[in-house]
Amino acid sequence: MATPLPTPGVGRAPTESTDTGGACASCALAPEATRLARLGLDPGRYSHVVALAGNPNTGKSTVFNALTGLRQHVGNWAGKTVARAEGGFSYGGVGYRIVDLPGTYSLLSASADEDVARDVLLFGRPDVTVVVVDATRLERNLPLVLQVRQITGRVVVALNLVDEARRHGITIDVRHLARELGVPVVATAARRGEGLPDLLAAIEQVATTDDPPAPLRLVHHDPELERAVATLADQVAARFPSLPNTRWVALRLLEGDPGIEAAVRDGSLGDQAAPTVEAAG
């Protein structure tokens, strides 16, 4: 990766954008924006941090723009959003800071983008992670959702591009999906402004709940592996009692993930539990 790794918490607006706040009135969201004010980049007045994750080319940037008002242009082209962006919005009188993570297919493949996304989710402890998913490509996008779910329970799935799905004759059983994942799933068509009020409501609900769902436990089909994970997970829980996602950490340790090993070594994994508003630096 040629661009410097953005450290979680240190963001910069992408160079290809302009903030045309004055254009708010003309955009499709204006009628529904009664509770939504766009603050642009204003880290000072927020109470919650939202991380925006998703595969490349899912319309993640459109969702980001719709929430923050940055008029960034989005092309029909996979892999375009590489630099991270930050923005802010207020909803229900409360300020939210939103971080747009690089588009990644998974958190496992060890590319710089994926490391960044993983680090923000694991160490940054966002209050909500919104995973944007392409409704026309659900199979392809779910692996990332499942991985995010393994790390945290504070997730909202934005099932985007439902207008495209309709055009292709695809219907998604949103309730079933939400039940299986254990988190809210909101159908959206961000480029038309569809579904955004529901998305905001879901974000608020997840950010403020005292009782989020537990991280997802995927049982491995391989009994040997399952045993090893269970054993190690117990030990991880013993060493870091407040960690909610011991299985995930155990898996990464078994894989020999250098980032996680370093976090174990210097004890920073244990800082996980303390809730905080700031993304770690």
Partner 1 sequence: MTLDELPRGDRAVVTSLDIRGGARRRLMDLGLLPGSAVHAEMTSPLGDPTAYEIRGALVVLRREQARAVHVEPEGR
Partner 2 sequence: MSTDLLEEAARLRRGLPDDVGDRIVESLYTDATRLAETSVDRDGTASRLTVDRALDRVLTHRVWGFVAMGVLFFGVFWFTIAGAAVPSDLLYTLLVENGHAWLRDGAVALGVPAVVTGLLVDGVYLATAWVIAVMLPPMAIFFPLFTLLEDFGYLPRVAFNLDRLFARAGAHGKQSLTMMMGYGCNAAGVTATRIIDSRRERLIAIITNNFSICNGRWPTLILMGTIFVGAVVPPALAGVVAAGAVIAVVILGIGVTLAVSWALSRTVLRGESSVYSLELPPYRPPRILRTLWTSIIDRTFKVLRRAVVMAAPAGAVIWLVGNVHLGDASLAGHLVTALGPIGWVMGLNGIILLAYLVAVPANEIIIPTIVMLTLTLGAPAAGATPGVMLELGDDAQIGTVLVTTGGWTLLTAVNLMIFTLLHHPCSTTVLTIWHETRSVRWTAVATLLPLALGFVVCASVAGVVRLLT
Sign of CA dihedral 172, 195, 127, 24: positive
Q: How far is the CB of 197 from partner 1 (least distance, A)?
A: 29
Residue list 104-133, contact with partner 1 (CB under 8 A): 105-106, 108-111
- CB neighbours of 205 closer than 8 A, spacing ≥ 6? 184
Report the C-alpha gap between 55 and 101 in whole angstroms.
Answer: 10
Q: What does the per-residue mask of binding to partner 1 show for 205-244, with x meaning CB under 8 A?
A: ----------------------------------------
Count of beta carbons in the 10 Å neighbourhood of residue 79: 11
Nearer to partner 2, 93 or 169 (CB): 169
The interface region with partner 1, picked from 103-111, 174-182, 235-243, 246-254 by CB under 8 A, is: 103-111
Q: Which is nearer to partner 2, 149 or 154 (CB)?
A: 149
Which one, of 190, 191, 197, 58, lies nearest residue 133 by Cα?
58
Instruction: Name the nearest CA neighbour of 148 among 172, 175, 122.
Output: 122
From the list partner 2, partner 1, none, pick the one residue 82 interacts with, judged by a Cβ distance below 5 to 8 Å according to partner type.
partner 2
The DSSP call for residue 28 is T
Residue 213, burial from CB neighbour count under 10 angstroms (0-12, 13-18, 19+): middle
Partner interacting with residue 110 (select from partner 2, partner 1, none; CB below 5-8 Å by kind):
partner 1
Q: Under the rule (CB under 8 A), what is the footprint of partner 2?
A: 1-4, 15-18, 20, 57, 71, 73, 75-80, 82-83, 106, 108, 111, 113, 136, 138-139, 142-143, 145-147, 164, 167-173, 176-177, 180-181, 191, 218, 220-222, 224-225, 228, 231-232, 235-236, 239, 250-251, 253-256, 261, 264-267
**90/106 with CB nearer partner 1:** 106
Question: Which among partner 2, partner 1, none contacts residue 225 (Cβ within 5 to 8 A by kind)?
Answer: partner 2
Q: How far is the CB of 163 from partner 1 (least distance, A)?
A: 16
The tokens for 65 are: 């723009």
Segment interacting with partner 1 (CB under 8 A) among 101-109, 207-215, 231-239, 257-265: 101-109
Residue 49, beta-bridge partner list: 97
- The tokens of 76 are what? 């029909």
Q: What is the dihedral of CA 172, 173, 179, 180, to 10 degrees?
A: -60
- Here the tokens at position 236 are 């991880």
Residue 60 in contact with partner 1, rule: CB under 8 A: no
Minimum CB separation of residue 206 from partner 2 in Å reads 20
Q: Which amino acid is residue 31, in one-letter code?
A: P
Q: Give the integer Cα–Cα distance in Å for 264 and 257.
A: 11
Are 250 and 233 a contacting pair, CB within 8 Å? Answer: yes
Question: Would you count residue 160 as binding partner 1 (CB under 8 A)?
Answer: no
Would you say 1 or 110 has its CB closer to partner 1? 110
Site for partner 1, rule CB under 8 A: 105-106, 108-111, 136-137, 139-140, 143
